[in-house]
A = this chain, B = another copy of it.
C-alpha cells in the first residue's frame, strides 16, 4: 500500500509542484493533486517529468462536478469532466473521488435518485478514460443534523448505493476517520474485495467518544485513538494495493512549517505502518 499525501494537514505547502517535491523528499509515493492544472502549467510531458523525477504517481483527483445542486450547475460542470479525466489518464491516474454528506436539505429519497443518475453519468465519463469513481461516506455524527434530512453515511449504505449506480468503475473512498466514527469494525474491512476500494484516507481521532469526534478535529496518523494498525493490516490482508493518503482536516491551520508538518506526517506513517507489520 502506497503512502500518499494530500494538501490537508500540510499548512501552506504551496503549489502542486511543491507538493510533488515534498512527497518525494519525505518518502511518500503518491499525491492527490489537480492533474489538469499540472498539465496546463507544465504541458503533458513536463507534468510527467515532474512526477517521474519525484518518483511519485497521482493517488486521486477530486471530482470537480457539483452533483449536489441544480441540474443546470450539474450540466455545466459535467462539460468539463472529460477534460479532467483525459488529463488524469495522461498522467497515469486511475482514481477520482468525491464525498457524500450524511444529510441533505432536499427530500432524501428524491435527492438519492437524482444523485444516483448524476454520479452514474460521471462514472461513465470517467470510465471512458480508465478512471474509477470513489465515493467517500462521512461518519462524524454532528454532521448528520446540519441539514434537515438524513442521507447515507455507513459503509453498507454506500455499497448499496454503488450497486444502484450500477457502473463497474465505482467504489469506496475509504477513510479511517469515517470508519472509526461510524463504529465500523475490522470484520467490515475484511468483508470487502480490494476492487471495491478506489482510494483510502488516513488520519486520527482525539480521545473522545467516537460519536463526539468532529469532522474537522482530526489528528495526524498515530497521534490519536483510531486502531490504524488494525485498519491498515486488514486492508493489506484483503489485497488492497493502492494509495493510503493523509487527509488531516482541522478547524485551525496546523502550526509549524510545512517541513515540520511533513516530518510529523512521515513519523506518523512510519509508526502506523510498522504497527501494521507493513514497514
A residues near B, CB below 8 A? 75-76, 78-83, 85-86, 89, 104, 107-114, 116-117, 120-121, 124-125, 127-129, 149-152, 157, 160-161, 163-164, 166-168, 193-195, 239
Jot down 23 A-B pairs with beta carbons below 8 A, ordered by A. A75-B86, A76-B86, A78-B128, A79-B82, A80-B82, A82-B125, A108-B109, A108-B112, A112-B113, A113-B160, A113-B161, A113-B164, A116-B116, A117-B160, A117-B164, A120-B164, A121-B125, A121-B127, A125-B125, A164-B164, A168-B168, A194-B195, A195-B195
B157 touches A113 (CB 8 A): yes
The secondary structure that dominates the A interface is helix
Measured between alpha carbons, how far is A271 from B104 in the docked complex, in Å? 47
A58 to B125, CA, bound (A): 26
Chain B residues in 8 Å Cβ range of A108: 107-109, 112, 149-150
Compute how far the CA of A111 lies from the CA of B152 in the bound complex, rounded to whole angstroms: 10
Q: Contact partner of A120 among B76, B161, B166, CB < 8 A?
A: B166
* Cα separation A114 to B162 with both chains bound (whole Å): 10
Q: In the docked arrangement, what's the CA distance between A128 and B119, Å?
A: 11
Chain B hits for A121, CB < 8 A: 124-125, 127-128
A66 to chain B, nearest CB (A): 14
A196: nearest residue on chain B (CB-CB)?
B195
CB distance from A129 to the nearest CB of B (A): 6
CA distance A145 to B89 in the complex (A): 38
Cβ of A160 and Cβ of B110 under 8 Å apart?
yes
Docked CA distance A110–B158 (Å): 9
Q: Please judge, given known A-B contacts A82-B81, A195-B193, whether A114 and B160 are in contact too, CB under 8 Å.
A: yes
Bound CA–CA A222/B98 (angstroms): 49
Bound state CA distance, A128 and B150, in angstroms?
Answer: 27
Q: How far is it, in angstroms, between the C-alpha of A112 and the C-alpha of B81 when the chains are bound?
A: 27
- Contact residue among B76, B104, B114, B163 (Cβ-Cβ distance under 8 Å from A117): B163
Report chain B residues within 8 Å CB of A157: 107, 109-110, 113
